[in-house]
Amino acid sequence: MSRLIIASNRLPVMINRSADGMTITPSAGGLATGLKSYHKDSDSVWIGWPGLMPETKNEEKEVIGLLETEQCLPVFLNEELISNYYDGFSNATLWPLFHYFAEFTEFNESYWEAYCKVNEMFADTIIENAEEGDVVWVHDYQLLLLPNILRERRPDLTIGFFLHIPFPSYELIRILPWREQIVNGLLGADLIGFHTYDYARHFISSVKRLLGHDVDFNQIKLEHRQVMIDVFPMGIDYEKFESHALEIQSKPIQDRSKEHQDIDRFLLSMPNRKLILSIDRLDYTKGIPQRLNAFREFLVRHPDYREKVSLIMLTVPSRTDVEQYQNLKNEIDVLVGNINGEFGTLNWNPVIYFYRSVPFDNLIELYSSADVALLTPLRDGMNLVAKEYIASKVNKKGVLILSEMAGASKELGEAISVNPNNISDTADAIYRALTKPDGEREKAIVAMQQRIKRYDIHKWASEFMKALNNTIEKQSEHHARKITARLKNKIFSDYSEKKSKVLFLDYDGTLQRFFDNPQAAKPDEDLYKLLDKLAADKNTKLTLVSGRDRETFERWFGHRKYNLIAEHGAWLKEQGKGWVERKPVHAEWKESILPVLESYVDRTPGSLIEEKTYSLVWHYRKADIELGVLRALELVHDISNLIFNQDLEILEGKKVVEIKVSGINKGTAATDFLHANPADFVLAMGDDWTDEFLFKELPETAHTIKVGTENSAAKYFVSNYKEVRSFLNDLVKS
């Protein structure tokens, strides 16, 4: 049975060095906290940085031994790597860019080199410990290159990846000098998960625009396989928060923590006193200054709430040696001081400010006591604090104010949603939260609790694993039809035994790669040599069957001993003979269609028109990929109305739209050719959906091979034109 290997930058535990030796403490952070319970309940091993670098071999052994008891394995990183890989590329390059703070983004070659090295180190540790067929689940932005490194070195592994922060729009990711490497790194996974559909959509757009891969809904089609993209909003260990909240609620006041007793005294000292809770790690993405300004605006607008409402602001220290964070800390200190100085009294502080982390029990106490949770990040992947607050409100009394920029806002629709940059709107939201009727508060809390209780951390992890298994099953369906060595030998044996043979070979995408300009795809010398060898067999009729115009085919192949079928079957040229028109028709229809295509060329930079005898083709391979797809849909709609009741049809190929005379296709052309040239061995290879006509019309005994992994009527498939050439070279040798 396969084992699960979890890989993340930090382990769910930290190793600390003290005078008494090495000790283990739980790690802070959403991923470590959230996934730890799932890790403990499953047969998994967690690989990551333990928080220190051993100074001796004995220390290293001690650390490894301690981690084994936690089902963990270490990747040891020295100070230089931590500085350049973690503080550098991860948090000074990727973190600000992915959170839309491009002005804070640093591009440093040494950061990038360290990032590559650490991802390789993680791969080394995983490969040393992974058995054949194991499942590797890679987490977050520090390890974006790891999936592809593993794919190249251990293709037997099943690889999933989950991104816990936003994935930015194409306009931002394109700024990154190493953008292609980052996106290719992720595509090493079989399944890539995101918190929200927006993040998934941004990633798919970047894949199409940066790398040009075809995408079918949530499937990215690579040459050898397909990568699935899906959305899994991360949950929390709901039962853990609920049970602790119930336990704290049942405690007498004297048994509660000093902090909780202080809160109780504050609330009991005056009727109708309210607490607003703000919890964040110190970070410029969290919108803390904007939140403080909104609270100040609330106090200005509603002076009757002074001395009745306090904002408890818990800010957990983070990256204290980074200038932006130091400046942010200073800004927050000044804002808190100004608000307390402007509105505070001897018995009341408007803002109760804690700059530290707190133990879990104290956190639950804060959640339980707060009447309102004010969580307004400027950009946040999920924000699990919002879910933790809801889970802890066992008394059903509480209101959540949540930024629409947080991933959790997509799930917690009953919360009061705000734009964190709109200070006035956030101030109004605070007032609405404090004045919300009890019935409405309870109804909203219950609805959110039911939802996040159903989709907790265990459900999140199991749903991801289920989707990963489904992805592998879908891939295996394709692999069952992949041309293997055994299938090759069977086809080659059949080829050798038969007396008369016909080979139908498509050109673009099959024998030659695609080019932005169709005329640039002319045959190279290696291709000529290969086709000449195939055509030299006296028992073989080599037939190139393509959508290309006959003039181009004549220029490229007219002097060779091949049979040529051009324009999807409209023209036939048998070896040693002239071109024959298979279905003579008039071309007056072009006069009404051509102006429409010209208007689309004008509106779609990079597109062009190709005119053939029986068709007009609109190419958009060089156009912006998303604009091209949009224009293609519009064009098909417009042309469909124009050709109604005419003997015309529309073919949609790979980044082309072709309007052609009906009844002319590769299938009927191949059938006619076989009637005139009977054969007991037939082989057809093609990549486009226009080749499906060919595959369907040929005899059942024919060997049909699709180039690409899309669904097809062909019996088998190969990945790309290079594999086609390799296959045909082996066929010649056989």
- What lies within 8 Å, CB to CB, of 696 at 6+ separation is 667, 713
The question of whether 506 is a catalytic residue gets the answer yes
Beta-carbon contacts of residue 275 (< 8 Å; ≥ 6 apart): 263, 266, 267, 309, 310, 312, 369, 370, 371, 372
Give Rg (Cα) of the chain. 32
Neighbours of 301 (CB within 10 A): 13
- Judge whether 189 and 160 are in contact, CB under 8 Å: yes
Q: Which helix (H) or strand (E) holds 215?
A: strand 214-216
Instruction: Please say whether the beta carbons of 307 and 348 come within 8 A.
Output: yes
Distances (CA, A) of 70 to 1, 58, 458, 510, 658: 21, 19, 19, 52, 61
* 546 and 535 Cβ atoms separated by less than 8 Å: no
CA angle 290, 296, 298 (to 5 degrees): 105
Query: Cα 177 from chain centroid?
Result: 19
CB proximity list for 667: less than 8 A, separation 6 or greater: 569, 693, 694, 695, 696, 697, 698
Which residue, among 160, 156, 148, 161, has the nearest Cα to 130 in the 3D structure? 156
| DSSP class of 314 | E
List own/partner pairs for 681-684 with CB under 8 A and 24 or more apart: 681/494, 681/495, 681/498, 681/500, 681/501, 681/502, 682/501, 682/502, 682/504, 683/491, 683/495, 683/501, 683/502, 683/503, 683/504, 684/503, 684/504, 684/505, 684/714
Q: Which of 417, 389, 423, 390 is nearest to 403 (CA)?
A: 417
**Residues ≥6 apart with Cβ < 8 Å to 139:** 6, 7, 8, 9, 31, 35, 161, 162, 164
- If DSSP codes are grouped into helix, strand and coil, which group holds residue 102? helix
- Fill in the amino acid letter for 202: H
Give one DSSP letter per residue of 530-563, joined into a string.
Answer: HHHHHHHSTTEEEEEE-SS-HHHHHHHHTTSS-E
Crossing angle of helices 30-41 and 384-392, in 10° steps, is: 70
Residue 704 pairs in a beta bridge with 684
Token output for 626: 């998303």
Q: Annotated catalytic residue: which of 280, 283, 428, 506?
A: 506
Burial readout 272-296 (b: 16 or more C-beta within 10 A, e: otherwise): eebbbbbbbbbbbbbbbebbbbbbb
The span from the CA of 335 to the CA of 343, in Å, is 12
DSSP-derived 3-state class of residue 168: coil
Distance CA 608, CA 315 (A): 57
List of residues 6+ apart from 259 with CB closer than 8 A: 358, 362, 365, 366
Which residues are tagged catalytic? Answer: 506
